[in-house]
């Protein structure tokens, strides 16, 4: 249970939120600051007003991250919408056959855009489909699929030697 | 060691967790907030209790006082108009017939100083919208008084002193005049003395 009756997140819940913060920020100190700021805001909310406090906290964190980085870029977690036509053969399955070591991922992690890291988080940690990721991120499915396609291309370009088992299939 | 991208992401993010110091800071933040919330809840509870007490006191005492004050203001205003009498007489028996429309018989008050006055006459009027008798009296020093009689309805007039229960009349002041209110034999009396 992430949210106890006394309005407190327990340690496992805080760790999960920290991982989500790390996904957005890509940096440990910034992640902790974001989590602390989020927690402060969540605690202002009456506990019984929330059906899923952890999901609420993720949303607060995401909005806060966008606010904090609004100056840096137009919107760090929003991609321009893409046409669905070119994405018919793409789904999260496109990522399933990408082969990569943890060290390699660590090297590229900070270079990825927050929106791409967030897609990876929902896909790998929460095991969501492209449609479900789109709902979580308040985006269109086509946009998410487009990001997945580009992400796969970028990862292949970063590590060109035998990093896929096959071409991504249709999801 | 090669693995799938999914495994790499799970392992990479799985490594990320709060240090003990970071967790302690967040826990302290939550506890501080909880204490503050507790104080706020206690504050709300105390406010609610005080509000309840005030409301109860108002209901039990202030509202009846308000009604009495309203009655006093109304009867004094009528008294000061000094409208012409519809019937004259020096005893209630002389004028009772005129007030048959009231739905009750005029009552002789048992209060000693009322007995010391002399009836001059009376006229119909109303108190809080209820038909009433307005009787004009004169005391030994020829000062006029007005005595109202109206059928007593506690819901309409509020709780009033009952002479039969040993209560004393409720005394108020309105426009500089003394007003006494009481109930005798189911009739509300309002007496204005100049």
The CATH number given to whatever domain includes residue A149 is 1.10.10.10
Which candidate from B1, B5, B27 shows the least CB-CB separation from A95? B5
Helix, strand or coil for residue B173?
A: strand
Q: Which domain does A89 fall in, by range?
A: 85-158
Q: Is the dihedral of CA B86, B89, B91, B95 positive or negative?
A: negative
Residue B91 lies in a domain: yes
Q: Does A2 touch chain B (CB under 8 A)?
A: no
pLDDT at A2 over 80: no
Residue reference for tokens 């309105």: B174
Number of domains in chain A: 2
Q: Which domain does B74 fall in, by range?
A: 53-193
Low-confidence winner among A52-66, A69-83, B88-102 (lowest mean pLDDT): A69-83
pLDDT tens for B142-153 read: 888 999 999 999
Task: Decide: A121 and A19 in contact? Cβ < 8 Å.
Answer: yes
Are A60 and A91 within one domain?
Answer: no
Q: Which residue of A has its CA nearest to B11?
A: A102
Chain A residues inside the 8 Å CB shell of B18: 11, 14-15, 18, 32
Q: Does A105 touch chain B (CB under 8 A)?
A: yes
pLDDT above 90 coverage of chain A, percent: 29
Are A121 and A90 within one domain?
Answer: yes
Task: Decide: A80 and A145 in contact? Cβ < 8 Å.
Answer: no
User: How many helices (DSSP H) and strands (DSSP E) are in chain B?
Assistant: 6, 7
Which candidate from A19, A32, A96 shows the least CB-CB separation from B4? A96
Q: Does A56 touch chain B (CB under 8 A)?
A: no
Are A58 and A103 within one domain?
Answer: no
Low-confidence winner among A11-25, A111-125, A130-144, B104-118 (lowest mean pLDDT): B104-118
pLDDT tens for A78-111 read: 555 554 444 445 566 778 888 888 888 888 888 8
pLDDT tens for B63-90 read: 556 889 989 999 999 888 888 899 999 8
pLDDT at B58 over 70: no
Residue range A72-80: average pLDDT?
Answer: 58
Low-confidence winner among A43-52, A105-114, A141-150, B29-38 (lowest mean pLDDT): A43-52
Helix, strand or coil for residue B171?
A: strand
The pLDDT, as a whole number, for residue A89 is 53
For residues A54 and A47, give the distance between their C-alpha atoms in angstroms, rounded to a whole number: 11
For residues B152 and B129, give the distance between their C-alpha atoms in angstroms, rounded to a whole number: 12
The pLDDT, as a whole number, for residue B3 is 82
Task: Decide: A171 and A94 in contact? Cβ < 8 Å.
Answer: yes
The pLDDT, as a whole number, for residue A171 is 34
For residues B5 and A47, give the distance between their C-alpha atoms in angstroms, rounded to a whole number: 37
Residue A132 lies in a domain: yes
pLDDT at B169 over 80: yes
Residue B143 lies in a domain: yes
Q: How far, CA to CA in Å, does A143 sit from each of A67, A85, B40?
A: 21, 11, 45
pLDDT tens for B22-54 read: 999 999 998 888 777 666 667 777 788 888 887
Residue A171 lies in a domain: no
Q: Looking at CA atoms only, how far is residue A105 from chain B in angstroms?
A: 7
The pLDDT, as a whole number, for residue A34 is 94
pLDDT tens for B83-101 read: 889 999 988 888 989 998 8
Residue A86 C-alpha from the chain's centroid: 23
For residues A9 and B149, give the distance between their C-alpha atoms in angstroms, rounded to a whole number: 71
Residue A133 lies in a domain: yes
Rounded (5°) CA angle A76-A77-A81 = 110
Q: Which two tokens stand for residue B45?
A: 């509870």
Cβ count near A67 (within 10 Å): 10
Q: Is ipTM beyond 0.85?
A: no
Task: Decide: A133 and A122 in contact? Cβ < 8 Å.
Answer: yes
**Residue B180 pLDDT class (50, 70, 90 cuts):** very high
């Amino acid at each position: 249970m992430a949210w106890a009756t006394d309005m407190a997140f327990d340690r496992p819940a805080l760790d999960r939120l920290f991982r989500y913060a790390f996904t957005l920020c890509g940096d440990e100190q910034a992640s902790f600051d974001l989590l602390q700021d989020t927690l402060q805001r969540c605690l202002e909310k009456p506990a019984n007003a929330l059906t899923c406090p952890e999901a609420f906290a993720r949303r607060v964190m995401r909005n806060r991250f966008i606010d904090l980085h609004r100056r840096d870029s137009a919107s760090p977690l929003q991609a321009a919408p893409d046409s669905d036509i070119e994405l018919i053969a793409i789904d999260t399955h496109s990522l399933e056959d990408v082969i990569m070591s943890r060290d390699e991922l660590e090297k590229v992690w900070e270079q990825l855009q927050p929106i791409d890291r967030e897609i990876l988080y929902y896909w790998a940690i929460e095991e969501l489909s492209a449609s479900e990721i789109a709902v979580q991120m308040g985006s269109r499915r086509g946009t998410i699929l487009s990001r997945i396609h580009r992400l796969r291309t970028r990862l292949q370009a970063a590590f060109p030697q035998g990093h896929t088992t096959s071409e991504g299939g249709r999801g | 060691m090669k693995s799938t991208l999914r495994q790499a992401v799970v392992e990479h993010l799985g490594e990320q967790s709060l240090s003990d110091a970071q967790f302690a800071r967040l826990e302290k933040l939550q506890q501080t907030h909880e204490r503050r919330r507790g104080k706020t809840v206690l504050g709300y509870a105390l406010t609610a209790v005080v509000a309840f007490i005030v409301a109860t006191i108002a209901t039990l005492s202030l509202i009846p006082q308000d009604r009495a004050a309203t009655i006093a203001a109304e009867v004094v205003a009528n008294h000061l108009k000094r409208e012409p009498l519809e019937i004259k007489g020096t005893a209630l028996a002389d004028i009772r017939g005129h007030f048959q429309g009231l739905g009750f018989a005029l009552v002789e008050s048992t209060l000693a100083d009322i007995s010391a006055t002399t009836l001059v006459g009376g006229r119909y009027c109303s108190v809080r919208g209820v038909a009433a008798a307005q009787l004009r009296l004169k005391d030994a020093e020829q000062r006029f008084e007005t005595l109202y009689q109206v059928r007593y309805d506690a819901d309409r007039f509020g709780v009033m002193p009952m002479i039969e229960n040993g209560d004393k009349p409720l005394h108020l002041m309105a426009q500089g005049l003394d007003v006494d209110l009481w109930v005798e034999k189911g009739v509300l009396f309002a007496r204005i003395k100049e």
